[in-house]
A and B are shown apart, each in its own frame.
Chain A
Amino acid sequence: MSKRLKQNLAAYGMVIPAFLVVMLTVTYPIISAVIQSFQDEKTGAFTLDNYAYFFTEPAQLKNLLFTLFVVFVTVAIAIVVAYLLALYLRFTKSKIAKTIGTLYLVPRFVPAMCAVYAMITIIRDSGLINRIGLLFGMDIKLGMMYHASGIITMNLWFNIPFAAMMITAGLGAIPDSIIEGARDVGAGKFKTFTSMILPLSIKDVIIAATFVFMTNVGSFTTPYLMGGNSPKMLGIALFDQFNKYLAYNRSAALSVIMFLICSVSAGVYIYTNLKEQDWEKQ
């Protein structure tokens, strides 16, 4: 055997296990789900009804729009807040900034269930805020439970630290000297931001946004514990179809729909990552 062949075999040998795992656990279920989604529940014949159901049934359509609404609001607020936080952490050199810089990731270490329950005890209509209000003679009912605002608030708790982490890494890669150069030729803080910092960090911001988007389209724990009966997040709708109604073909169709929604942002992610800006080409 030639040396080259040996090297190739060794290389394949190392890749094959991972390849098989991916094929078995990812590719196979996806293919089978796609096939199932086009099959009639009883006859197994080809049909588009499973898909049509989710776009024509008013309650289902509402779920879809509700999910998109919650996800877009979550992405928008999480990214804006995270960007501001990351800017603060990057450009402030105080003790407070340092402390925040160490602590802002702590929410990520709280198990999701604990965090959601903790939030519920604070915001529910008989929760901490209500009780503090009562001390001052006010009966504050936030009405955030079983409402989009509750889910969004919880999503922000999880996603702001995560997005801030990604954006902070990007901002950290911008050398001070670039900013000093801009200030030196007469750019104020705002101009420096729009001409230097934003273009140099926008890639990380978009990537963070796609991640936040994807993780929230299929979120389950939060809407399960905090969401209302209607409209529902798609994760819960899927759970219902699968576990309550045992409608496996519709479940498959809904899975594919969610997958497609996510793949839009996956597309944005891949495009952003692959696309070399002119100035990055050597």
Chain B
Amino acid sequence: MMSDRKIKLQIKDMTKKYDNGDGVEHINLDVYEGEIVTFLGPSGCGKSTILRTIGGFLDVTSGDITIDGKSIVALPPEKRPTAMVFQSYNLWPHMTIYENLAFGLKLRKVPKKTIDEDIKKMLALVSMSGSEKKYPGQLSGGQQQRIAIARSLLLKPSLLLLDEPFSALDAKIRQQMREELKKIQSDLGITVIFVTHDQEEAMALSHCIVVMNKGKFDQIGTPAEIYDNPQTLHVASFIGEMNFIKQANGTIAVRPEDIVVEKGAGKGDLDATVRTIMLMGHYVSLTVQHGDDVVKCFIDRDISGQLKENDAVSLKIGKHTTFPNT
């Protein structure tokens, strides 16, 4: 990693507690300029809470948040250089799509001609051309979500906050929007904080992933670091497919593609018997029984051809992490 990169956003020992005691604690994070950082974690772990404290919709209980080195915790949302796409995409129901998109630009006194041009371009970008005169209530959830993204992007914020912005989109548009987002982000050079509970999305998009669990950060790292070296059991189980094999001295976490399977017992680290063989396309997903654990392995088709159910096999464990037994 380059060390001369500029820090865009810094969260310093930030705690936000709701009246009922829920919330997030002791959050520390540096986000560098031009990065896409993803908050990844299960529902209710506090992703939206952190995003909303950055956007200015929640006051922090303690700690500080800075953008470009200046504290923003005392600023109201309209004074912060952030734009947010909300989980509920909240377009303004009484305004047309055009008015929704133009509202923020008008506040910034952008000339009408520029507004019209920008809106046209942006609608084309999110494949919603021609919807200017419609009202949000006349659009589907996915279409509203795209308009909400367009509304934020039009303002060219230096920090864009996205709270599960693709949740209402189907797989194909989702894929497209991911690519678009990545492209827009690098074109405009903006910094993006992206919230999702979809680990695949996090992997595909991010320069840096923050894995969250129950109001805390479990691990911060590049997608490769998180995938290859999960530091906690939670991270290991949350990201990608992972086998957990209980041993006397700890639990081995190993990915299905890091296990080599050989026919016959006693040739590897562990012995097991074949349970199921499933052809997935160019590879085969094999499950085997080892003691009480079911282990999944991805193997080549030429090996799977020699195997049938209840055969004895031996497993060679490749790259793996061992966690102490709890």
Report A's interface with B, CB cutoff 8 A.
175, 177-178, 180-188, 191, 195-196, 199-200, 277-282
Contact = CB atoms under 8 A, between A and B. Distances in A.
A186 B104 contact: yes
Contacts of B103: 182, 185, 187, 195
A175 B90 contact: yes
Contacts of B76: 183, 188
Interface in B51-108: 55-57, 76-78, 82-84, 86, 88, 90-96, 103-104, 107-108
Given A279-B137, A280-B137, A282-B138, A183 B92 contact: no
Given A181-B86, A186-B78, A200 B94 contact: yes
B17 to A, nearest CB: 16
Contacts of B152: 185
Contact of A178 (B83, B92, B151, B155): B92
Contacts of B84: 180, 184
A223 B243 CA distance: 84
A282 B137 contact: yes
A237 to B, nearest CB: 43
Nearest to A199: B94
B137 A183 contact: no
B227 interface: no
Contacts of B91: 181
Given A178-B92, A178-B93, A280-B137, A183 B86 contact: no
B135 A187 contact: no
Contacts of B88: 175, 177
Nearest to B133: A278
A181 B90 contact: yes
B104 A178 contact: no
Contacts of B108: 186
A180 B78 contact: no
Interface string B23-60: 00000000000000000000000000000000111000
Nearest to A175: B90
Contacts of A181: 86, 90-92
Contacts of A277: 94
Interface residues of B, number: 29
Nearest to A280: B137
Q: Which of B95, B103, B151 has the most C-beta atoms of chain A within 10 angstroms of its own C-beta?
A: B103
A191 B92 contact: no
A278 B135 contact: yes
A171 to B, nearest CB: 14
A277 B136 CA distance: 13
Nearest to A179: B90
Contact of B78 (A175, A188, A279): A188
A191 B84 CA distance: 19
B82 A184 contact: yes
A186 B84 CA distance: 11
Nearest to A188: B78
Interface of B: 55-57, 76-78, 82-84, 86, 88, 90-96, 103-104, 107-108, 135-138, 151-152, 155
Nearest to B135: A279
B94 A180 contact: no
A281 B82 CA distance: 33
Contacts of A187: 78, 103-104, 107
21 contacts: A177-B88, A180-B55, A180-B77, A180-B86, A180-B90, A181-B91, A181-B92, A182-B92, A183-B57, A184-B57, A184-B82, A184-B84, A185-B78, A185-B83, A188-B76, A188-B78, A196-B92, A200-B94, A279-B135, A282-B137, A282-B138
B78 to A, nearest CB: 5
A118 to B, nearest CB: 39
Contacts of A196: 92
A183 B135 contact: no
Q: Which of B77, B95, B137, B155 has the most C-beta atoms of chain A within 10 angstroms of its own C-beta?
A: B77
Given A191-B107, A282-B137, A183 B78 contact: yes
Contact of B90 (A178, A188, A199): A178
A282 B93 CA distance: 11
Interface pairs A-B: 5 shortest CB-CB:
A185-B104, A177-B90, A183-B77, A279-B135, A181-B90
Nearest to A279: B135
B84 to A, nearest CB: 5
Nearest to A282: B137
A185 B137 contact: no
A142 to B, nearest CB: 43
Nearest to A278: B135
A179 to B, nearest CB: 9
Contacts of A183: 56-57, 76-78
Nearest to B80: A184
A185 B82 CA distance: 8
A95 to B, nearest CB: 12
B107 A186 contact: yes
Contacts of B107: 185-187, 191
Given A177-B88, A280-B137, A185 B155 contact: yes
B147 to A, nearest CB: 12
Contacts of A175: 88, 90
B94 A177 contact: no
B50 to A, nearest CB: 16
Contacts of B83: 184-185
